[in-house]
Structure 1
Amino acid sequence: MQDRAEVYSDSLQEAEHRFRRFANGIPGAIFQYVLNTDGTDTVSYMSKGCIDLWEIPASDVVDDASALSSQVLADDVKGLAESVQRSADTLEFWRHEWRMRTPSGQIKWVSGTGTPRRLADGGTAWDSVIIDVTRERQDQLALNQFFEQANTLNLITDLDWRIQRANPAWARVLGLQPAALLGRAATDLIDPIDRTLFLERFRSCQREGTTMELDCRVRDAGGALHQLTWSAEARVEHDLIFIVARDVTRARQDQRRLQQAAAVFESTAEGVIITDLNGSILDVNDAFSRVTGYSREEVIGRNPNLLRSGRHDARFYEAMWQEVQQQGHWHGEIWNRSKDGAIFPELLTISTVVDEAEQPSGYVGVFSDISLLKQHQERLNHLAHHDPLTDLPNRTLFTSRLQHSIERCRRAGSSLAVLFIDLDRFKHINDSLGHSTGDELLIEITARIRQRVRASDTLARISGDEFVVLLENVSSREAARAVVDDLLAAFQHPYTVNGISISITASMGLSFYPADGADVSSLLANADAAMYKAKDEGRNTVLFYSSEFTAEAFEHVFLETGLKQALDRQELFLVYQPQFDLQSRRVSGMEALLRWRHPQNGVIAPSRFIPFAERSGLIRPIGRWVLEQACRDGRAWLEAGLAIGHMAVNVATPELLRSSFAEDLAMVVSATGFPADQLEIEITESSIMKQPDRSIAQLDQVRATGVMVSVDDFGTGYSSLGMLKKLPINRLKLDQSFVRDLPDDPDDIAIAEAIISLGHAMNLEIIAEGIERTEQEAFLRQRGCHLGQGHWFSRPLPAEAIPEFMASHR
């Protein structure tokens, strides 16, 4: 009997250990709550999830629940108490949600459930679970905000089409008040001619499990017909139908139907693998099997090294496990091999599992297959850094390579040369023979130059008829001259393009490191100056740079003295370029653009003085003035009843990296009264990548103020998709260099579609700049680009012209 009792006791202890490991390992907190008959309450057990929810060790709340109740927000105390008392009175299952403030100041939504039972002394005990539902409540808020947005006409109906909810856009667009729509059949709004087709198409899509999209006509409150694009999807499990409609009446005057397309990245479920401390696999989930091809039975008891691809050496794994041992987790990219031998990249997180004694008991790995993201990343990287016509490096990639070469030369004490090549009278060939012939000629010229440059050199195309060559390991000017003369010889013989013999020459300029410049911009500028001098001297020749070719020194003095006085003399001013919703063609925002009206030289473009302002430190007072003026103008327009949408302001790198930037931004918003949620700052992709970690920290602080963040000139920098995932941003701006040749250039089409698809996959808005033709607008709208700006819509306008502009675009 004693032996049986001991076995029974051991079994109870083992069961208790298993329960505690289970309770401490799941999200949230498991605890036992007791409400005594005298109204006092206690916690008799609390899992270690207490520290995650309340930021209090579980040991601090056992027998004393005051530390938990003190965190409940004052507005939620009464409701929580009443729900507990009601459950105690009726012994009904307890369920309640409330908010609390943790010791760190964080506001959380939590959800609690528990089964009550009556104790012998008359008190009530609940075996309860509380989980953090903050994210769900935030998502619900975002959903409500989306539903109430003014850009679309939204409905929620029951399965009989009776309207349960309608947003205010129905009143604004069609004069139909949401309250008056409740209970009506949504199909009754549709013109009888279109109603049958609407219902047939909806039933067909429902059978296929797809979302219906169809154009149908609706009469407004005055009886006028409007063309609406309807999107409808039934959620049978909720007995609801969700409808989103857009008024496309104006667009249909020129186009019968607008076909909407949105490319969505395919995502895979995350795989989970659990091992003991020796690395033996204890369990895997279904997603693991789907990704790797191994069934659960095939891997139980084996080591995860069966997935090793062979791409990583022993040091990689040693460093990975060292970090797991020291930090408790590891996160990064790794290449693994599936059962069929295919090698694939995955994003992997390994975490240490600890027992109730805070001792490691095993490991959990969570991973996702990122093959598709890698493919898109490689595609974007190549398209963003190579010329789409010739596949040569573009300016961005060339300047990067030149920078690296300069650093090598500086360390080794060696030299290099930069050769600027401009085709003589190429525009005449384009204009007379056509752009297609001009493109073929550029391809032939590229092939001929490639045959003559050395393997160590870099040939790039940086604009329409301009090439540049990085000549490395140039021992002397004479050695460089020999290479350049050989390149000039490439133009001595005619080119045959489409059966046409074409003769063309080139003017070339050469600069040397370190004699003619110690940085990328100086070497390129001086080679460019030498090339233009060669053109002045008759073309078809090459000149070495000389300081007399440039007026750079005079420009520096002019900018230094002029900019310091520009703010005080009120020579700086802003113009505003409207931004439009490409679907509704309504104004969605304004971008503030800086200009300088010099008393002698007239209006000076920002591209001339902004780089100097950044280098000299003058960008800080200038940037502060721009931000304040844009917010003041925006506030004035809002008070005048103008729905200008968002106000976008460009922020330079030195401003963003200033430690007090977010604080200064909040002060400007407060002082001017402009709503923070309507303010948007634009940061260039390249500026973020200069100091990515610091930039992300700064942008997190900016987002905390309620201000939106967008990445300007996206696609021209070096940011990776991994880095993009970390950025706290709302929008990507498609650079005008990728818009300029749409929809004719297949490479620009590929880039634009890839970036738009990337934005959709990451829930980011896409805005395209530089739209100048109706074909560009139509292409971008059809691909799902949300917003656009450019001369096709409006040139930048002075502040005083905005009210009239808005009045004409209601």
Structure 2
Amino acid sequence: MGERIGDLDKGPITVLKWRSGETMAISYVSPNIIQYGYTAEDLVQEKIRFSSIVHPDDFESVQKNRLQFMLSDQTYLQQEYRIQTASGQVRWVHSLSVIREKNNSVYYWEEYLVDITERTNMESPVKETEEMYRSIVEGTFVGIYIIQNGLFAYVNGQMAEIFGYKQEEMLFKAVREIVLPEDYELVAENIRRRIEGEIESIQYQFRGVKKDKTVIYIKVLGSKILYKGSPAVIGTLIDITESKRNDEQLRMAAKVFESTIEGVVVTDVEGKIQWVNPAFSKITGYSKEEALGKNPRILKSERHDDEFYRDMWRDIKITGQWQGEIWNRRKNGETYPEWLTISAIRDEEGKTVQYVSVFNDITERFQREERIKYQAYHDALTGLPNRSLLRDRLSMALTHAHRSGKMIAIMMLDLDRFKRINDTLGHPVGDTLLQMVAKRLTNSIRNGDTVSRLGGDEFAIILEDIGSVENVIKVAQKILRRMETPVQIKSHDLHISTSIGISLYPTDGQDADSLLKFADTAMYQAKQEGRNQYRLYTPKMNDKALQRLTMENELRKALEREEFLVYYQPKLDLCSGKVIGAEALVRWQHPRLGFLSPSEFIPLAEETGLIKPIGDFVLWAACKQNKDWQDKGLKGICISVNLSAVQFQQKNLLQKVTHCLTEVGLNPAYLELEITESSAIQNPQMTIKTLKEFKKLGIQLSIDDFGTGYSSLGLLNQLPLDTLKIDKSFIRDITSDKDSQAIVSAIIAMSHNLGIKLVAEGVETKDQMFYLKEHHCDQIQGYLISPPIAAEQFEKFLQPDYHIMTYTWTVG
């Protein structure tokens, strides 16, 4: 005992040995009592009584606690009280009293004093700061956690609620238990990278598993901290499965918001900033002092109009929150994108008293997406548009030409004998040559035209708004002349030439695939006839017959080779502004001819009867895809599948469709069958009978291309239809042609009188959309919303929090 006290005498702890019977007396005091201006001898010899050192205001409670301590079975007592130094100062001490021996009614105990004056003086502002943080946490709905050694060392109430647990149930639970097994490797790797210091923080998504085994989608943001002296991961997460978040009271220490990379702003109801965290200053450039008392309008970028902000605050007032992407401006004037969540904080009476905004800078993600987008649509070597972008621009050019009546020219170019140069002088020289050719081609056309590199030494050019064929020939001749000038690369004078094939819209073809194919055919003709020249496409009858025979043979093999793809074109509800359905459309990924549109093979498939197996493929693929989307937890929508006239005449059509729905497990309400108006009127009685049988199953029914088949009103009244689709030929000129307007208005009125919804096809402009909404059309479909796209791309329309930002304000 003496050795232990001797060790303590050397440290900051003051030791007192007491004997307590009828009275209390000190038998030993450590020398470091001198820090308070007293000597050990003074206290042991009772020249100064210890009771006189205790602050008068604390003396009664100290003595009371000691008495209760002696009368209880406790072995130790902790308390804090003030003592007065010899110079009159007041110091706070933390006291630990420990019973060492008890002899009848006499107690021998030791008291250890630690000076806590500095800590006590600091507690007041710290508590105030913690109260501020706590009020912020109570106003947000974000889950907060600390992970250490693969376990949850801390979770807040909202975190536990997200996963369906009580807060105490999640403490020390393994992270693995709340993560879908397929995603655990991702989560574990991101935790490891932060713990080991590879990255400071990270934001990502994973699929979580609730206590009831429900799978949810989680967005998580976290960074590394030291927690109780060891590395840990601290962060926030939100459940993004639901579109709305419940306001929850959260409790979290100040460390969370000091460490998070998300900016946090607290304002009063008048919009004055009351508090910001360090991340706010880092992102915006405004210090805390500069921001306090200001309105968040100091960050306004002027990229959004007044209606955007009116809609935002309308949502906040109605639902209590808003979240979305917004552009703001830093202090230095730079604009940047951020993901922002604003929540209203209400008191017990439901009155809004504050607003909390949480945001993070998504500039890097935005730039990364732009880079990826650029790389996806541009050739890495020359910087020219690639094949994908060429097709997009050609589609747009065809749409414009169809409206304006202007001509379009497609040029396919191939360098003559390029392979010989590449093989002889090497790929670096070949690459440099291709870059110089790209510049010559770009300099040979107008700014509005397009030069594209398709791959290798093959290029393509789109010439728009062509006045005559002669103008196209002049461009071709200019290119041939520019190619005659030798190219000097590394002391080599290279003489090059090119062969050019030309196809024209509308004389040679009506769609992009045909025009590209015909230009390619003309280019090979130019090569065969001696190179260094151009040729205009001139089709021949025997060539078409041969092509038809070849196409038929390849069409028969296409299903076996799995060359058909199903694309989906969304349908937009004009009332809600949301995607509520899609039309399944078949495409052919031809191994030799590339991506073929239905117009190039569907007529042939109908003539040969191959449309039946192709139609069966589309039906099964669309139903299975829709069920897969639903199984993923995505929004349920109705998928439309077209039935050709040949398919509709099949006697076993009902059995085929029933078998498909049963095998796939899809609710019939999520399938819509479309037949053309011309198919419906071929055999009216059979049509009525067949459609009624489908209707009994709960399948949705639609008439496609309405207005082109001359069906009678009496027939329409007998058909159990859900939808009519106005043919796009009436929509094309709806904003300018009075006849089209009259027809469309009549169809809308008729369909509504019959209780049938109306879908307008081929909507390509906002003016068309505005007109249709004004005249109470129910739904629209067309390139204004989206072209037909692959299933993976279409999934974005089904996400719970997805909005068609460009259009919601016009149709909402």
Is the TM value for this pair above 0.5? no
TM-score (norm 2): 0.44
Give TM-score scaled by structure 1 length: 0.44
Instruction: Considering Cα pairs closer than 8 Å and 6+ residues apart, tell me whether 1 or 2 has the greater RCO.
Output: 1
